[in-house]
Structure 1
Amino acid sequence: MANFVLLHGGRHGGWCWRRVTTRLRAAGHEVHTPTLTGSGERAHLLTPHIGLDTHVRDLAAVFHYEDITDAVLVAHSYGGMVACGAMQQIADRVRSLVLLDAHLPHEGESVFDLNGPQRADAMIALANQSGEGWYIPPADAGRYGITDPADRAWANARMTAQPLKTYQDPSGPTDRAWSHPGLFVECVPSSLEPHLLDRARARSAADTRIGYRVLSAAHNAMVTAPEALTTLLTEVLASE
């Protein structure tokens, strides 16, 4: 049995992993689903001062206070920025890092650097128009490939805003993430804008230190394809 730490992406929360968590726990695994400051059930803590480093410290603190060791750390989307930064502190507690359609930064790169100037400009404009200049409002779950009406309504009721600063801040050192046993999982066909995660996909496919798998699911596979994702995660354990 293993310890799983499932980290959500931007504008989500630990809630999004519910269907995968149920399956992993039924198989006897221990599962943690932390929610980053300002997101999900911690949305009341949202402030303009929350940045990438805040979220890195959130994740590192979960490992410390929950005494988590020998963990499979699964990071989704923006969560890859957080996980790769936190690995500088928690790598000795992580057996493998799984990046689920997630960013894979080098030191000094921000989400906006990885997404490109067109996407960055659009997000900044959205924050200026609908987020008081400092936060990105919740997105419709359909953007993440959740098309079932009931699932879409469930997710939309839980989506929260994202501090703009978290996407602007450059990553700190990430060398321990790059040198650690890891796997990049590409969701195909992606429901995101074209090329949004191309850099992460290309980097992982080209780097022999990082495994590469394709999952036939939308970007939010934990909601739309929980059985397939759970199977893939348990296969990761079996292959170690």
Structure 2
Amino acid sequence: MSAHSSSASPPFVLLHGGRHGGWCWKHVAAALRQKGLVVHAPTLTGLGERSHLLNPGIGLDVHVQDLVATFEFEDIQDAVLVAHSYGGIVASGAMERIADRVRRIVFLDAHLPRTGESHCDMVGPARAAEHIAMAERGGEGWYIPPSDASWYGVTDPDDAAWVNSRTTAQPLKTYQDPVGNTDRAWTHLGMFIECVPSSLQPHILERARKRHAEDPAFPYRLLHATHDAMVTAPEAVTELLLEAMNP
């Protein structure tokens, strides 16, 4: 089935960001399912409920393969692929292999890398150095410990407790590995949702803003919510994702 299929009810694939897992989409997934939509919320290797698999050898290529395998083994076609934060790098790399199965790719306050860029490149040298320091301090030099929910803009006590009980460590290697070819991510039907205020540095968002300015098929939306908008503003996120169903 073509990525440009006119099917009114595409499946959704919701990809989490760094140190999160499929669990973070709980409220958004439930809202989409209540509308009769099929939703997949995979968790990347070594994170979330798969944290028992954490090891130094997990790199970006493993996470890209995780997403590709989800599409292949679940036989997903004509999907709306939604990527949050670090998940944007994973999704961009995977698009070289799954673009024909994707109706639209949505970047929710997510990284939109060019070919060969890493997460460290995207966040800049100062933040990349912080990640290395975090790994040295509390991650045996190779993994980044969880950050408090407040880093993601989650301040409600109940939500913060929920997030803090589920975020897990992530291999530093996944942040340092360069992504492969991302040409198909940059030319595919897409949407960028910027959360305001965002945890992402302004220079990262400039890439998406530039694409929006040059590509009429790439809408840019502002969402007045914090970085973990799927937790803090699930209704608003769901509304935008329903908009993305119809290119």
TM-score normalised by length of structure 2: 0.93
Corresponding residue for residue 4 of structure 2: none
Measure the CA separation in 2 of the matches of 1:206 and 1:200: 10
Q: Paired residue for 2:153?
A: 145
- Determine the structure 1 residue equivalent to 2:6: none
2:203, 2:168 → 1: CA distance?
21
Distance 1:78 1:139 in 2: 14
State yes or no: 1:171 paired with 2:179. yes
Corresponding residue of 2:27 = 19
Number of aligned residues: 238
1:222 to 218, 230, 241: 230
Residues 123, 200 of structure 2: 8 Å contact kept: no
With normalisation by structure 1, the TM-score equals 0.96
Alignment deviations for residues 127-152 of structure 1 (CA, whole Å, 9 cap, x no partner): 01110000000011111111100000
Q: Percent identity?
A: 62
Q: Which runs of 5+ in 1 are unaligned?
A: none
Q: How does 1:1-240 map to 2 (within 5 A)?
A: 1-190=9-198, 192=199, 194-195=201-202, 197-208=204-215, 209-238=217-246, 240=247
How far off is 1:202 after superposition? 3.5
* Higher deviation after alignment, 151-160 or 209-218: 209-218
Superposed CA RMSD: 1.3
User: Which SS does the other structure have where 1:132 is aligned?
Assistant: coil
Distance 1:38 1:196 in 2: 29
Offset at 1:115?
0.9
3-state DSSP of counterpart to 2:45: coil
Runs of 4+ in 1 over 2 A off after TM superposition: 193-207
Distance of 2:34 and 2:230 partners within structure 1: 16
Aligned residue identity for 1:220: D
Q: Residue 229 of structure 2 aligns to which amino acid in structure 1?
A: A
Contact 1:101/1:197, CA 8 A, preserved across alignment: no
